[in-house]
Homo-oligomer: A and B are copies of this chain.
């Protein structure tokens, strides 16, 4: 890394002072109020004057000052997107959905990262309140919603993403049916003849993974297999690839005879890490062990074999959340709504029938 420091003379002359609505009004021979109307309710102003004003705007190169307008109106035109972890590819797809839908409503998106920390979540809530944000799409960091409820009281409504269970009583929410996902994965494995399996998970405190686990259990029960006897649980402190790789010992514990024939992972990253670890041990997927993931991240079908996984409609999740928020902001007769998507099992190469 190196540095050079030639600083050419400033390019353009710094514009003396940005022109405001009043100046435009003067230039067009109308009152400031009319200019405001042209900007916000063009239908209420006569065509002729509208054209005059628009000409003046173009000529003076006027650009609206949103601070002024939010100050006066009490609300800004931006919404917060509070994510758990910017890095996670799951969230980036969601962000794209939120972004697109917000743009369609003329709102801009402020990205805030909780980094899985309640402290940061609190700080970000405060920030949104200070900005008088119109609303927010939030993935709550845990079950303690006090900071977010405070945000609501400050007049900034939010819709919960992926945590509908905990936020149902509060406002809108968008969730994916985690139990159904686990159930689908479990039925798939049972259908392939696997009679015992391991659930590889991150922190069990996370509600989503508990539901996926329950789904898996129910699939076994429904097939007449006792989940307590047939299922094993391996818990790791985080839901990432490194932890998946490190989990390989725990998964294989008990020697070859005890080795599970199938592993359902709470997360694609865990699954991919695990597959890497298995490969290093000389075990083959799916011949020796079947692996199922969750999320369908972009890379899930780039590994060999492709990862069988439970796909979530990430982009649609983001869109739906933002749409709900927009409705809450614009529609006076809005009623809170709980939207629930159903995930879909994608069968690829990482699962196969039990060897006979």
Contacts and interface: CB of A to CB of B under 8 A. Distances in A.
A109 B83 CA distance: 13
A187 interface: no
B86 A96 contact: yes
Contacts of A155: 14-15, 18
Contacts of A87: 89, 92-93, 96, 298
A329 interface: no
A356 interface: no
A344 to B, nearest CB: 11
Contact of A340 (B1, B129, B153): B1
Interface in A282-305: 298-299, 301-304
A356 to B, nearest CB: 27
Do most interface residues of chain A lie in helix, strand or loop, or is the interface mixed? mixed
B110 A169 contact: no
Interface in A1-58: 1-8, 11-12, 14-15, 18
A261 interface: no
A302 B241 contact: yes
A221 interface: no
A304 B302 contact: no
Interface in A82-118: 86-87, 89, 92-93, 95-96, 99, 108-113
Interface string A330-344: 000001111111100
Contact of A335 (B1, B7, B152, B170): B7
A188 B109 CA distance: 43
Nearest to A241: B302
A64 B299 CA distance: 44
Contacts of A112: 108-109
B15 A337 contact: no
A323 interface: no
Given A1-B339, A5-B337, A67-B132, A299 B301 contact: no
Contacts of A130: 63-66
A152 B66 contact: no
A331 B71 CA distance: 29
A126 interface: yes
Interface in A168-183: 169-170
A325 to B, nearest CB: 15
Contact of A113 (B5, B86, B99, B154): B99
Contact of A111 (B4, B93, B99, B337): B99
Q: Which of A15, A71, A112 has the most CB of B within 10 A?
A: A71
A149 interface: yes
11 contacts: A2-B340, A11-B152, A11-B169, A15-B155, A65-B71, A67-B76, A86-B92, A87-B298, A99-B113, A109-B112, A299-B299
Given A7-B336, A87-B93, 17 more contacts: A2-B340, A5-B338, A7-B335, A12-B153, A14-B153, A18-B132, A63-B126, A63-B130, A67-B67, A78-B131, A81-B111, A87-B92, A92-B92, A99-B113, A272-B299, A276-B301, A299-B302
